[in-house]
Amino acid sequence: MNEKEELACPKFFISQLSPRNINRKEDFYTWSDINLPFARIWVQGIVLLICGSEDQTQFALDDGTGIIFVLNQTVKGMEDVEIKEGSYFMIIGAFGNFHEGKPCIFAHKIVDLSGSHDRESLWNLEVV
């Protein structure tokens, strides 16, 4: 049985992804508070800092509870989306090793929600 194929993609506040809450298994992670297994995560927040090269963008995302580093190599459908500081994005991707004590995510899907006025209050309700 391949557990990774059966895992959900939970929504997290970034503060919930601290190293003390996450346990690494062979090919997935568990969130220790409720023993929730996952390989991918869903987070939302504001872009703080952008760096990287032409073929790989890296940026820091802040949801108000913490910061996660997002690695974006070749996400389909992103050709027309501009990632800029201050924008609000939804990110879905593989949870990764910690970078300088912070969690990271290898993006599979990135959606610009900057135009959605209720984005943060709705996100808080979805995660809780």
Strand partners, 106: 71, 94
Most confident residue range from 3-7, 65-69, 93-97, 123-127: 65-69
Find the mean pLDDT for residues 26-38.
Answer: 83
Strand partners, 90: 44, 111
Dihedral angle over CA of 46, 52, 58, 62, nearest 10: -30
- Give CA separation, 85 vs 47, 49, 97, in Å: 5, 6, 24
Residue 5 has pLDDT above 60, yes or no: no
Q: Please give the pLDDT value at position 54.
A: 61
Find the mean pLDDT for residues 101-124.
Answer: 80
Whole-structure pTM over 0.85, yes or no? Answer: no
Find the mean pLDDT for residues 2-14.
Answer: 74
